[in-house]
């Protein structure tokens, strides 16, 4: 699916009410499905709006990364409520969240690749030319993000998406308590993670892609546990910590694999081909070392 395609971002006449005083309000098992969505979505929406407003002057890689994470959290939340929101509405919103996350993540991707290349440079000074080229690509990514992510358009899109979601949920599940629903969605996310982990643990061909699928499923589960922890029974702090540790290992592997793909698919007019090839060989060696550790982590959770 082409995630770079435009999806219209209308300015609705009725605005989604963002009550900042309710953002920190505690949820209970008796809170309705509809009102819980609003309470969980509001803090993330506010964060996205604030970060996109500062994007015009922001060049901190962590800020771009956190914006990407916020969009991912909204995708997870929409997935959780998709049985009530409907397939079409969920797909439209999720596709735009994914597109915006990818645009915001371009800068972060080049920061990661640049840091890896600096490490590679320690063993081969000639790679410094590629390090410099990566800095230029990073600057281009910043400009692209600033051009593509306009705060007014993003706020209008979020305003419309949240208002539509709120209206739909209030019409069909405004009096239904959240606990049973939240537990079902968490269990479904757990089953998906277990299934993907087992597939990755026994796979050989296409192993990298399977590890990436595990990473995505783990993120979704962790976000849902963080969202729903106040209203579902059981202690989930340990599970969140375990998921975070696995995600860290898978993330380090993914950074190398993604950087290798990024460099391989990018044209560097001012960098000799042999220098690019040296960097790719170095990344390949690092990836081979990391994949064993990532595989062991995945096997552990698959059991």
Q: What kind and span of H or E run contains 224?
A: helix 207-228
> CB neighbours of 63 closer than 8 A, spacing ≥ 6?
51, 54, 55
3-state secondary structure of 229: coil
CATH entry 1.40.20.10 includes domain 33-302: yes
What is the per-residue pLDDT for 302? 79
pLDDT class for 285, splitting at 50, 70, 90? very high
Q: Is the pLDDT at 14 greater than 70, yes or no?
A: no
Whether pTM exceeds 0.95? no
pLDDT in tens, 188-201: 999 999 999 999 88
What is the per-residue pLDDT for 203? 76
What is the per-residue pLDDT for 7? 36
pLDDT in tens, 145-187: 888 888 899 999 999 999 999 999 999 998 899 999 999 999 9
| Helical segments of the chain, H only | 33-53, 61-85, 87-121, 128-148, 151-172, 179-202, 207-228, 237-264, 273-302
Q: Is the pLDDT at 261 greater than 60, yes or no?
A: yes
pLDDT in tens, 82-129: 999 999 999 999 999 999 999 998 999 999 999 999 999 999 999 999
pLDDT in tens, 17-69: 444 444 434 677 788 999 999 999 999 999 999 999 888 777 787 888 899 99
Q: Is the pLDDT at 133 greater than 80, yes or no?
A: yes
Task: Confirm if 168 and 84 have CB atoms less than 8 A apart.
Answer: yes
CA atoms of 107 and 17, how far apart (whole Å): 32
What is the per-residue pLDDT for 157? 95
Q: Which of 15, 52, 55, 50 is nearest to 161 (CA)?
A: 15
**Residue, of 127 and 292, whose pLDDT is higher:** 127
Phi, psi of 95 (to 5 degrees): -65, -40
Mean pLDDT of the 276-292 span = 93
What is the per-residue pLDDT for 204? 66
Cβ count within 10 A of residue 13: 6
How do the domains of the chain map onto residue ranges?
Answer: 33-302
What is the per-residue pLDDT for 232? 85
Bridge-partner residues for 177, per DSSP? 32
What is the per-residue pLDDT for 57? 79
């Amino acid at each position: 699916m082409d995630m770079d395609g435009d999806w219209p971002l209308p300015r609705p006449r009725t605005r989604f009410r963002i009550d900042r005083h309710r953002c920190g309000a505690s949820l209970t098992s008796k809170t309705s499905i509809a009102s819980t969505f609003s309470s969980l979505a509001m803090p993330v929406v506010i964060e996205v709006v604030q970060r996109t407003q500062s994007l015009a002057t922001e060049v901190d890689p962590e800020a771009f990364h956190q914006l990407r994470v916020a969009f991912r959290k909204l995708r997870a939340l929409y997935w959780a409520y998709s049985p009530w929101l409907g397939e079409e509405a969920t797909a439209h919103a999720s596709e735009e969240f994914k597109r915006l996350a990818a645009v915001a993540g371009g800068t972060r991707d080049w920061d990661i690749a640049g840091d890896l290349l600096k490490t590679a440079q320690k063993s081969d000074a000639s790679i410094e030319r590629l390090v410099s080229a990566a800095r230029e690509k990073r600057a281009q990514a910043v400009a692209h993000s600033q051009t593509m992510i306009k705060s007014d358009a993003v706020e209008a899109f979020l305003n419309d998406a949240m208002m539509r979601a709120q209206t739909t949920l209030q019409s069909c599940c405004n009096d239904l308590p959240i606990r049973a629903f939240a537990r079902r969605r968490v269990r479904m996310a757990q089953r998906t993670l277990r299934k993907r982990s087992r597939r990755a643990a026994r796979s050989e061909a296409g192993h990298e892609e399977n590890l990436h699928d595990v990473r995505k499923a783990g993120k979704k589960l962790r976000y849902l546990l963080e969202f729903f922890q106040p209203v579902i029974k059981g202690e989930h702090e340990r599970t969140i910590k375990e998921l975070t540790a696995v995600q860290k290992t898978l993330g380090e592997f993914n950074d190398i694999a993604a950087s290798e793909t990024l460099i391989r698919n990018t044209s560097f007019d001012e960098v000799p081909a042999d220098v690019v090839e040296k960097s790719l060989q170095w990344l390949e060696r690092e990836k081979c070392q990391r994949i064993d550790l990532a595989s062991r982590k995945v096997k552990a959770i698959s059991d």
